[in-house]
Amino acid sequence: MRQIAHTVALAATAIGLMAGIAGHAEAEAKKYKIYLSNNFVGNDWRQQMERVANVSVSKGPLEGRVDLKIENVENTVQAQINSLNNIIRSKPDAILIDAGSDTALNPTIKKACDAGIVVISFDQVVTEPCAYALESDWKRIPAVMAEWMAQQLGGKGKVFVDRGLAGAPISAALEKGYLDVLKKYPGIEVVGSYNGEYALGPEQAGVASLLAAHPQVDGILTQGYGSGAIKALQDAGRTIVPVVGFTYNSSALACAKTEGAKCILGSNPAYLSSEAIKLAVDILDTGKKPAERHVLVNGDFLATAPFKSELYPDAVTQVIEIGKNAFPDAPPGLTLPITPDWVTITAAEASGS
């Protein structure tokens, strides 16, 4: 009888272990419904952001794990709130939000959290404590680039500053970051501002309008391409001045090919959407939350000449080289770098070509 009881106990233990393994495998294989709420699609970055989100759930570790639905709304806070309320009613596992306001969406986001939905704001992040905030380091990026500009100008000169996209949290952070550093240099004067909207046309038009009103400008700090500012200078027959921009392929090429151009380009990778999806799946799989609400992504800077930041000594700056980090055969609006390290997204996939 003792032997029979022992055999039954072993069998029960084995069944329990098998059930546990099966349960774990089932948990790992579970498919999650995830929504991505995007308030603006009027530039290359946002379009690439959506493409890489779709690609990242079609292969690699997330293949078959995510039913991803992207909801684009017009660029008003109320439109995004209305869309989010509809999404919440559909009871998804997670919602990812590229937000039109850092505060106005908070009550709606809190409603989602209270319903047990994992909420991750990314790129343009929110202040609601229950939502994770995955973003580039928007204190570091403008500080390094404004420091570079001050060095180029020798601490003296007149500059234009891009205000970005009206109402966008990152735009406010970038403008503040530029101005906070420039204030340390009494010889540098901001003589004009414009709304570049992270798009090439508005950037070029905004700079062109300011050039018509100001006979002297010594530097331009954009929140977008930088190449639009260079083109406006060329069209106006003005001297090419130091320009701050971001790592679009056309920006890197313009800086590398334009005679006399001096540039620094900050990196805000479009694959933040992919990182947000992966973070959501990790939280849903394990139930474990990140140690910090804020999850920061640091990309390399590109510049026309070596630069070492004193404010952030660990910031990495690559010298722009055609064929290495500027690609004549790739689409001009391609944002660099293209892919996170846990999945391979090609330039063709990221650009939709």
Cis peptide before 92 (omega within 30 of 0): no
Domain boundaries, the chain: 1-30, 31-138+269-351
> Is 24 a residue whose pLDDT tops 50?
no
Segment 135-146 shows an average pLDDT of 96
- From the list 125, 146, 147, 145, the residue with the least C-alpha distance to 136 is 125
- From the list 137, 223, 220, 139, the residue with the least C-alpha distance to 181 is 139
Hey, what are 106's tokens? Answer: 């908070």
Q: What are phi and psi of 204, to 5 degrees?
A: -65, -45
94 beta partners:
34, 118
Model-level pTM? 0.77
Provide the pLDDT for residue 28. 53
* Single-letter code of the amino acid located at 345: I
> Domain 31-138+269-351 falls in which CATH fold?
Rossmann fold (3.40.50)
Let me know the angle formed at the C-alpha of 197 by 318 and 303, rounded to the nearest 5 degrees.
10
> Is 22 a residue whose pLDDT tops 50?
no
pLDDT tens for residues 28-82? Answer: 579 999 999 999 998 889 999 999 999 999 999 999 999 999 999 998 999 999 9
- From the list 138, 224, 202, 203, the residue with the least C-alpha distance to 176 is 138
Provide the pLDDT for residue 337. 84
Distance, in Å, from the CA atom of 334 to the CA atom of 348, rounded to the nearest integer, reads 10
Provide the pLDDT for residue 6. 36
pLDDT tens for residues 246-266? Answer: 999 999 999 999 999 999 999
| Cα torsion through 332, 275, 176, 213, rounded to 10 | 20
Place of tokens 């060329």: 234
